[in-house]
Amino acid sequence: MTFLPLLKSVFRREMQLAYRRRSDLANPLLFFLIVVVLFPLGVTPDMTKLADMAPGVLWVGALLANLLSLDLLFRSDYEDGSLEQMLLASLPPTSLVLCKVWVHWLVTGLPLTIMAPLLSIMLGLPGNALPLLMLTLALGTLSLSLIGSIGAALTVGLQKGGLLLTLLIMPLFVPVIIFGTGAVQAQVAGLPWQAHLAMLAAMTTGSLALSPLLTVAALRIAVGD
């Protein structure tokens, strides 16, 4: 088969698998909801204080929800052996990884972004910050999925990879969350936010270019053993 039909079939397979594990898809979203709900209960129900914290709280919640779902990115394919076959197939492995990460974003990052307005109202975030919040979350979660795929590939061969994945990947998520929340907070404060957004977009495109290569290298280690 040539490149595009093959890629399309991989994409269709991934979407089908995601659809058949609907409960796995719902878990990160529910987790996001619960984390965000814990903040008013744990810190303060005062709406003005919550509004200040809202961009950070939403970003932390989305980041953790994304992290939670990353462990499943390659695991089932690794365990049933299909990952090995895919790496041997004529499809370039980087495009395979990109396809899987893209589907991961479609089923976690995008729903998280769509859920964010509802939760931001509960936290009292000013309405004019909503479009930028959604834009940063959409870009940011894609970047998180891309960077996270490296960690998922490094830990795929381990029985208890989940906690280790968090330890490995969390430091690399730090810049993304800084610029993601920075943009929204700057807009709420009436300051120029374009520079933060540009940095976030640069990180997303940079990780788009580099992380598939590293993910493939990490998957080869896991499959090689």
Residue ranges binding another protein (CB under 8 A): 147, 150-151, 154-155, 157-158, 160-161, 164, 167-168, 170-172, 174-175, 211, 214, 217-218, 221-222, 224-225
> How far is residue 146's CA from residue 123's CA, in Å, rounded to a whole number?
29
108 vs 211, beta carbon nearer another protein: 211
Name the residue among 142, 110, 126, 133 with its Cα closest to residue 183.
Answer: 133
CB of 110 to another protein, least distance (A): 25
CB of 214 to another protein, least distance (A): 6
CB of 134 to another protein, least distance (A): 26
164 token code pair? 């280790």
> How far is residue 165's CA from residue 148's CA, in Å, rounded to a whole number?
8
CB of 212 to another protein, least distance (A): 12
28 vs 182, beta carbon nearer another protein: 182
> How far is residue 135's CA from residue 117's CA, in Å, rounded to a whole number?
11
How far CA 94 is from CA of 76, 104, 162, 179, 207, in Å, comes to 19, 15, 23, 27, 13
112 vs 153, beta carbon nearer another protein: 153
123 vs 222, beta carbon nearer another protein: 222
